A and B are shown apart, each in its own frame.
Chain A
Amino acid sequence: MSETAWGTWARRVGMAPGAVYALVVLSLTFTLFTTQFLTLRNLTNVGMQGSVLIIVALGMTLIILSQGIDLSLGPVMGLAGVVLALAVKQQVGLPLAIVAAIVVGGCFGLLNGVLIARLGLPPFVVTLGTFGMAQGLALVLTQGSSIPGLGPAVQYFNDGRILGVQVPIIMTAVAFLVVYVILYYTKFGTYVFALGGNQEALALAGVRTRLYKTGVYVLGGGLAGVAALVMTARMNAAHPTVGVGLEFDAIASVILGGTSFERGKGWLGGTIFGALAVSVLRNGLNLIGLSTSWQVSMVGMVIILAIVVDSLRGI
């Protein structure tokens, strides 16, 4: 990176979006409350669990940057996982199965993109509808039950290690790198910022805005497919409802990480912090022994609080 980019990076960190504070505060709190938090094993656990969220949140970052939103990414991930598992069970071979999962994710992204970019429908309602559609399809394909026992090839994506580091973490790092390059080093990424910051300027420059707007949703869907692989590997099974709620965590990660809803302002690195903060929150609450039910509302409230505070700080 050039020197000015480092400077910009440092300045951004200095401005510290909510996520960084949240992460620090939460980590300290949980370290105080339970001895189990600050262990290598637990932290690795957080990293592993966070990887699914991070991958999805990466796509969500771009979507929100372009002034959109995608509420369907959770169930789409679930559906992709189901497709992956079914393909594995049908003996099509792992590579093809993975491709299938990503394609399914991408197709839903395409559907969302076309409805939103071409027809101009409000993103939150459209993706609420596709949320239902993806959820329904996942249930149909599995008839409501899980698909367990996917074999060591799939499990490698959770248990395996490359150079001593767990595969999910490597995958997350790779995904981050890829999206980072796309966002900051390609035309596509530039146009994502422009879609959010000044769509007219982009149109005036002769760029096909609808194409790129659709592309953002396709990318988000594809990433959900990748996340599905990690998730399915971790559970060694595909559950049709596993993704529900993930989109909320993803949105929270993105907002906490400093990406704003309305102006094409954002920071991909921030999303990592945001996702980690959310993961730490869930992990910590678990360690304290809070029941899952409490966790749902606690996480919800903390996240809303963070968004409100961020909002009041004056975006």
Chain B
Amino acid sequence: MLHFWLHSLSRLAMIIVLLVALSLVSPSFLSLQNLSNIVRQASLLFLLASGLTVVILTAGIDLSIGSVLALSGSVAANFIQQGWIWSGSLIGLVIGAGCGLLNGLMVALVGLPPFIATYGMLWVAEGFAQVFMKGEIISGFPRGFRFLGAGYVTGIPVPILVMIVVLVVSIFFLRRTNFGRHVYIIGANREAARLSGISIRGNLLLVYSLSGLISAFAGLVYVSRINAVESTIGEPLLLPAIAAVCIGGTSLFGGEGGIGGTMVGALIMTLVTNGMNLLNVSPYWQSFVMGAIVVLAVALDQLGSAKMKGA
């Protein structure tokens, strides 16, 4: 328990430090408008990272989330722009789930290491996205769809509401359902899980499919928010998503952490990105910083993980 509180306190401290530092840099930082923007941005990152969190909890990884987001978003956008909002969205979700299912098959049935399987999927999905989009941009979506990313409900941006809903639902799923328990124990000790009668294959298939589905959903919200899509929109999202999960306390070794942490991690990552923008750090340096943060986050994870402390 102590571990959990120390962890939460340190993350909270990070957020406070960042907020203070950024408000010093820019006086208008702490305005409601700006904070609201930040939370909205964080919610987009959070959505993408939430599926990843579940995969990482099983001691796996999904490197394809960015490309799957781009592919499903691109295909969906194509239909949505023509007015087919619901079917277009559905097609996008199906594509995402399908990619996830393929990942799951490679990992659970063939037994490929998750990083290789999903890394391959990264390229395949990316390629298909490129083929589909032919290097073009689709922009300008109907009002109904735009509501998802850019709308407001009683003054609160819709993505934030979506985030809250996803947060609550996923925490419930992970903490209060049989499936959630399965996820944790598969990550904590796969062999013990197997010997307790838990179906490893079935659960992993589900987990990876879910990750693909959520990536697609995040894509819909994202595309709706920026009102445009091109085949490369997924590329810069992978590293921040991984960083968010790690900073949030979910261990790469499995069995530890949760969605709540990922939300905190997403907030921290968004504050960092915002900070860099405020300080006029060039986007090129930002790539470097992203990479460095992932390395740091993983190193911290290693030091703090219960599993690594000789469990």
Which A residues lie at the B interface, using CB under 8 A? 69, 71, 115, 119-122, 124-126, 128-137, 139-140, 143-144, 245, 248, 251, 261, 291-301, 303-304, 307-308, 311-312
Interface SS, A side: helix
Q: Which of B113, B126, B130, B294 contacts A261 (CB 8 A)?
A: B113
Given contacts A140-B284, A298-B127, whether A135 and B115 have CB atoms under 8 Å apart is no
Contact with A along B99-128 (1 / 0, CB 8 A): 000000010001111011101111111111
Of B17-25, B81-89, B295-303, the one touching chain A: B295-303
13 contacts between A and B (CB under 8 A): A128-B238, A132-B294, A133-B295, A135-B288, A136-B284, A136-B287, A136-B291, A139-B287, A140-B284, A292-B130, A304-B120, A307-B112, A312-B110
B90 contacts partner chain A, Cβ-Cβ < 8 Å: no
B288–A137 touching, CB < 8 Å: yes
Count B-side interface residues using an 8 Å CB cutoff.
47
**With a CB–CB cut-off of 8 A, which chain A residues contact B291?**
128-136
B127–A293 touching, CB < 8 Å: yes
Which B residues lie at the A interface, using CB under 8 A? 61, 63, 106, 110-113, 115-117, 119-128, 130-131, 134-135, 231, 238-239, 242, 252, 282-295, 298-299, 302, 308
Measured in the bound complex, the distance between the Cα atoms of B114 and A124 in whole Å is 10
A296–B302 touching, CB < 8 Å: no
Q: Which of B63, B111, B127, B286 contacts A128 (CB 8 A)?
A: B63
| Closest Cβ neighbor of A124 among chain B residues | B115
| Closest Cβ neighbor of A72 among chain B residues | B291
| Closest Cβ neighbor of B295 among chain A residues | A129
**With a CB–CB cut-off of 8 A, which chain A residues contact B302?**
119-121
Measured in the bound complex, the distance between the Cα atoms of B63 and A248 in whole Å is 13
B290–A294 touching, CB < 8 Å: no
Q: What are the 6 tightest A-B residue pairs by CB atom distance, in nearest-first order? A: A132-B291, A297-B127, A136-B288, A296-B127, A136-B287, A293-B130
**With a CB–CB cut-off of 8 A, which chain A residues contact B298?**
121-122, 125-126, 129
Interface SS, B side: helix
Measured in the bound complex, the distance between the Cα atoms of B299 and A144 in whole Å is 30
A126–B127 touching, CB < 8 Å: no
Measured in the bound complex, the distance between the Cα atoms of B273 and A101 in whole Å is 30
Measured in the bound complex, the distance between the Cα atoms of B292 and A140 in whole Å is 14
| Closest Cβ neighbor of A143 among chain B residues | B284
Given contacts A128-B239, A132-B294, A133-B292, whether A307 and B286 have CB atoms under 8 Å apart is no
Measured in the bound complex, the distance between the Cα atoms of B128 and A93 in whole Å is 43
**With a CB–CB cut-off of 8 A, which chain A residues contact B231?**
293
Q: Which of A69, A71, A128, A136 contacts B242 (CB 8 A)?
A: A128
**With a CB–CB cut-off of 8 A, which chain A residues contact B308?**
120
A132–B116 touching, CB < 8 Å: no
Min distance, Cβ B304 to any Cβ of chain A, angstroms: 13
Measured in the bound complex, the distance between the Cα atoms of B295 and A115 in whole Å is 9
Measured in the bound complex, the distance between the Cα atoms of B113 and A140 in whole Å is 33
Given contacts A294-B127, A297-B131, 14 further A-B contacts (CB under 8 A): A122-B298, A124-B61, A125-B294, A136-B289, A140-B288, A251-B116, A293-B134, A294-B131, A298-B127, A299-B123, A300-B124, A304-B117, A304-B124, A312-B110
A296–B130 touching, CB < 8 Å: yes
A136–B130 touching, CB < 8 Å: no
**With a CB–CB cut-off of 8 A, which chain A residues contact B111?**
311
Measured in the bound complex, the distance between the Cα atoms of B127 and A312 in whole Å is 25
**With a CB–CB cut-off of 8 A, which chain B residues contact A298?**
127
Min distance, Cβ A167 to any Cβ of chain B, angstroms: 30
**With a CB–CB cut-off of 8 A, which chain A residues contact B299?**
115, 119, 121
Min distance, Cβ A127 to any Cβ of chain B, angstroms: 9
